[in-house]
Structure 1
Amino acid sequence: MGHNIGWEYYRSFLAVLTEGSLSGAARKLGLTQPTVGRHVRALEAAFAQALFTRTPTGLVPTDAATALQGYAQAMHSTAAALEREAFSQGQGIQGTVRVSASEVIGIEVLPPVLARLRREHPLLRVELVATNRVQDLLQREADLAIRMSPPRQEALVARRIGAVELGLFAHADYVAEHGMPATVAGLAAHALIGFDEETPFLRAASARFPAWRREAFALRSDSDLAQLAMLRAGCGIGICQAALAARNPHLLRVLPDAFSFSLDTWVTMHGDLRGSRRCRVVFDALVACMQAHAGNGHARAARAPANKKRRR
């Protein structure tokens, strides 16, 4: 094939990588198993090396296949972005916009604004990627992203929203049974909710608040949503965005003067999309949504000291 290797071969290769078998890749792509196998063999012949080792449990990628995976994923993301742009052409706001946000923001904050966008622009489609993994906008894994850190790539268009405040909270039922800690040292006598694996956020929080460390957590989960669910269920004391806690009158602020953390928030998109009408509409809607979200958190923080009366 020389240098004329078609995208469909790489697409089959990537599907086999992710599915672990020819049959799984065929089902994912809507192709026949012999077709996928032919694509993989053609790539192996072109590269003059094996890409997979056949085992009783499936196909295991070789070192060569692992080295090529990132490039194939970048091609897949670029092809998907091309399709989104092509299908958006025409009258009015239409087409698909792929948005990346953290689990908590994607599930707890964005749905209302997405519903409003759909009402105003019925031909608009939004793909919401709710993940704590940072999607690469330069590789077009997403068109827009909400990030809790400033973007460092010059090719991105970014709008700083401000700080989203985090604090310690507990359900009123938990406080009624176990009391409210009066000091940071008093947290040691309580059930704390936190992460299992060490994360950049946990390292930063532990540096500022040494009591907030993995060994102190009675309940652990690497899912922000699971932690939030445990907090709402009255399992213990955990970190929550102040704006989310403001929605639930039963969530009480714990040690507001001693424990406060903020995340700088940005809405970003690839610079090539600044002229895209559909992306601009979604970008502006996300900015307004996140500004309101951050503002709600600051309003809750202003009322928080009143909760200090509920102490052990």
Structure 2
Amino acid sequence: MRPCKNVHMLPSRASADDLLVLLEVARSGRFSRAAESLRVNQVTVSRRIAALERAVGGKLLVRAASGWELTDLGRRALAAAEQVDGVLQKLESGSEVGAEIEDVVRLSAPDGFTTFVAAPAAARLHQEHPGISVEIVSATRRAAQHRSGLDIEIVVGEPRVIRARALRLGGYVLGLYATPDYLERHGTPTGFDDLARHRLIYFISSMLQVDDLDVGRRYLPEMRDAVTSTNVFAHIEATCAGGGIGLLPTFMIKPHRGLVRLLPDEATVEMAYWLVAREDTLRRPSVAAMVKQLRQTMREMGNVLSTTAAPEA
């Protein structure tokens, strides 16, 4: 009688279910969030990932400060997982044409971009694709080397990135502003030399993570701090309250706030917003649709981003 083949010696195949678990972990960066999305517990997620690693013969994830990050093998497995997910979405829709996208896009951006660009873009995206929801986190920082849990990062200044793409979205301008009352009390500066007599409202230098935003110290070294904050809206409110001279994004200054633009020919600092995302993430239909909306919103704001929005002194 022929002996039975030992099934335990046969190489295992990657399970489609396990690939979908990897997909959720890659999108969220957390086992807990993946478990919540899949409606299972974290033990099941861990067990599925371990089974997939045994099937493909290597580590798919490594722990990073911000969550779980994909290895090179993990990125290849993720590409397969995205294909499986795409096929399943087509089957569930009953048609390959006009299938509704169901996904969550997670984005981080500085406060001003979040309010004036990301939020309107996300709202229009959701109107066009009701199955896509967008999570926006306000953060002014450098591009992360490990971007688990985020699909898109918006940063100020051209970033140095590894295993990701950086796309320039557009420029904007920083200018000096003050209230008429402040200028009446302290005098109106007519040149850079006069600024040393005034106090600056800007970011906290010691907490600033973005080199390009450290212009307060580079361009205005003689000005002492009045009010500093990690939040640009605090800069605007402190300036409107007459606390000093604010170095502010011109596109965020509403005419009704009564601020006066100072030294526009001399004190104009050009900045730029950049988008950072992994190549595999950019291929997801939901992320591609969000990038399209961000670019469209930036184009529509082109004139506002590059011009003053208050009277000159």
- Would you say same fold, with TM above 0.5? yes
Task: Give yes or no for the alignment of 1:207 onto 2:218.
Answer: yes
Q: 5+ residue gaps in structure 1? A: 1-6, 16-30, 40-67
Q: In the alignment, which residue of structure 1 is the partner of 2:312?
A: 307
Query: In structure 2, do the counterparts of structure 1 residues 96 and 262 end up closer, same or farther at CA, with 3 Å as the change threshold?
Result: same
Query: What secondary structure does 1:307 align onto?
Result: coil
> Larger C-alpha radius of gyration, 1 or 2?
2
Match for 1:70: what amino acid? A
Q: In the alignment, which residue of structure 2 is the partner of 1:141?
A: 149
Match for 2:64: what amino acid? G
Q: Which moved more, 1:273-282 or 1:241-250?
A: 241-250
Distance 1:184 1:162 in 2: 28
Does the 8 Å contact 2:108/2:154 carry over to 1?
yes
Q: In the alignment, which residue of structure 2 is the partner of 1:167?
A: 175
Distance 2:107 2:124 in 1: 15
**Number of aligned positions between the proteins:** 244
2:261 equivalent among 253, 257, 262: 253
| Deviations 1:120-158, CA, capped at 9 Å, x for gaps | 222110010111133537533311122212233363333
Distance 1:177 1:156 in 2: 51
Does the 8 Å contact 2:111/2:140 carry over to 1?
yes
* Root-mean-square deviation over aligned CA pairs: 3.9
Distance 1:150 1:292 in 2: 22
2:295 equivalent among 279, 283, 287: 287
Q: In the alignment, which residue of structure 2 is the partner of 1:123?
A: 131
Q: In the alignment, which residue of structure 2 is the partner of 1:224?
A: 232
Q: In the alignment, which residue of structure 1 is the partner of 2:58?
A: none
| Deviations 1:34-65, CA, capped at 9 Å, x for gaps | x99xx9xxxxxxxxxxxxxxxxxxxxxxxxxx
Query: In structure 2, do the counterparts of structure 1 residues 134 and 245 end up closer, same or farther at CA, with 3 Å as the change threshold?
Result: same
TM-score by length of 1: 0.64
| Deviations 1:224-254, CA, capped at 9 Å, x for gaps | 2322221233322111111112554512211
Cα distance, 1:264 vs structure 2: 2.4
Query: In structure 2, do the counterparts of structure 1 residues 89 and 240 end up closer, same or farther at CA, with 3 Å as the change threshold?
Result: farther
TM-score by length of 2: 0.64
Query: What secondary structure does 2:306 align onto?
Result: helix
Does the 8 Å contact 1:100/1:145 carry over to 2?
yes
Identity %: 27
Q: In the alignment, which residue of structure 1 is the partner of 2:10?
A: none
**Equivalent residues in 2 for 1:55-204 (5 A)?**
70=64, 73-75=67-69, 89=89, 91-136=99-144, 139-153=147-161, 155-198=163-206, 199=208, 200-201=211-212, 203-204=214-215
Cα distance, 1:89 vs structure 2: 4.0
Distance 1:175 1:276 in 2: 52
Does the 8 Å contact 1:242/1:297 carry over to 2?
yes
Query: What secondary structure does 1:74 align onto?
Result: strand
Query: What secondary structure does 2:280 align onto?
Result: helix
Does the 8 Å contact 1:113/1:289 carry over to 2?
yes
Distance 1:121 1:103 in 2: 25
Query: In structure 2, do the counterparts of structure 1 residues 103 and 262 end up closer, same or farther at CA, with 3 Å as the change threshold?
Result: same
**Equivalent residues in 2 for 1:255-274 (5 A)?**
255-274=263-282
Distance 1:208 1:188 in 2: 12
Match for 1:307: what amino acid? E
